[in-house]
Copies of this chain bind each other. A is one copy, B any other.
Amino acid sequence: MDMIAEARALDAADPLADRRGRYLIPEGVIYLDGNSLGPASHAALAALDVAAREEWAEGLIRSWNAAGWFELPMALGGRIGRLIGAGEGCVVACDTISVNLYKVLHACLALRPDRRVILAEATSFPTDLYIAEGVCAAAGARLVLAEGPVEAALGPEVAAMLVNHVDYRSGALRDMAALTAAAHAAGALAVWDLSHSAGALEVGLDAAGADFAVGCTYKYLNGGPGAPAFVYAATRHHGAIRQPVTGWWGHARPFAFETGFEAAKGMKAFLAGTQPVLSFRALAGALEDWEGVEMGAVRAKSMRMTQAFINWVEAACPGLELASPRAAEARGSQVSFCHANGYEIMQALIARGVIGDFRAPDVLRFGFAPLYLSFEEVARAVLALAEVLESGEWREARFAERGAVT
- Which residues of A are at the interface with B, using a C-beta cutoff of 8 A? 24, 26, 29, 31, 33, 36-37, 39-40, 44-45, 48, 51-53, 55-58, 60-65, 69-70, 95-99, 102, 106, 122, 126-127, 129-131, 133-135, 137-139, 145, 216, 218, 224-229, 244-251, 255-261, 272-280, 282, 350, 355, 357, 359-360, 403-406
Contact = CB atoms under 8 A, between A and B. Distances in A.
The winner among A135, A246, A403 for most chain B CB atoms within 10 A is A246
A388 to B, nearest CB: 18
B278 A98 contact: no
A123 to B, nearest CB: 9
How many monomers of this protein are in the complex? 2
The 8 A-B pairs with the shortest beta carbon distances in the complex, nearest first, are A96-B273, A98-B247, A98-B273, A134-B246, A276-B279, A225-B277, A127-B248, A40-B57
B279 A126 contact: no
Given A37-B60, A61-B33, A251-B126, A225 B99 contact: no
Contacts of A61: 33, 36-37, 355, 357, 406
Given A225-B278, A258-B126, A106 B138 contact: yes
A227 B56 contact: no
A301 B312 CA distance: 69
Contacts of A138: 106, 138-139, 244
A31 B131 CA distance: 42
A97 B273 contact: yes
Given A70-B404, A255-B405, A404-B65, A244 B60 contact: no
B276 A276 contact: yes
B95 A273 contact: yes
Nearest to A218: B274
Contacts of A40: 52-53, 56-57
Contact of A65 (B55, B99, B403): B403
Given A52-B45, A52-B48, A261 B227 contact: no
Contacts of A359: 257
A381 B225 CA distance: 41
B228 A276 contact: yes
Given A44-B52, A61-B355, A98-B272, 18 more contacts: A26-B60, A39-B57, A52-B282, A62-B355, A64-B406, A95-B95, A96-B275, A98-B245, A98-B247, A98-B274, A99-B245, A130-B250, A131-B245, A133-B246, A133-B260, A133-B261, A138-B139, A257-B359
Nearest to A361: B257
A73 to B, nearest CB: 11
B96 A227 contact: no
Nearest to A278: B279
A247 to B, nearest CB: 3
A244 B137 contact: yes
A40 B102 CA distance: 33
Contacts of A244: 102, 134-135, 137-138
Most buried by B among A52, A99, A130, A276: A276
B99 A95 contact: yes
A60 B48 contact: no
A218 to B, nearest CB: 7
A191 to B, nearest CB: 16
A272 to B, nearest CB: 4
Nearest to A139: B138
Contacts of A218: 274
Contacts of A261: 129-130, 133-134
Nearest to A225: B277
A138 to B, nearest CB: 4
A25 to B, nearest CB: 9
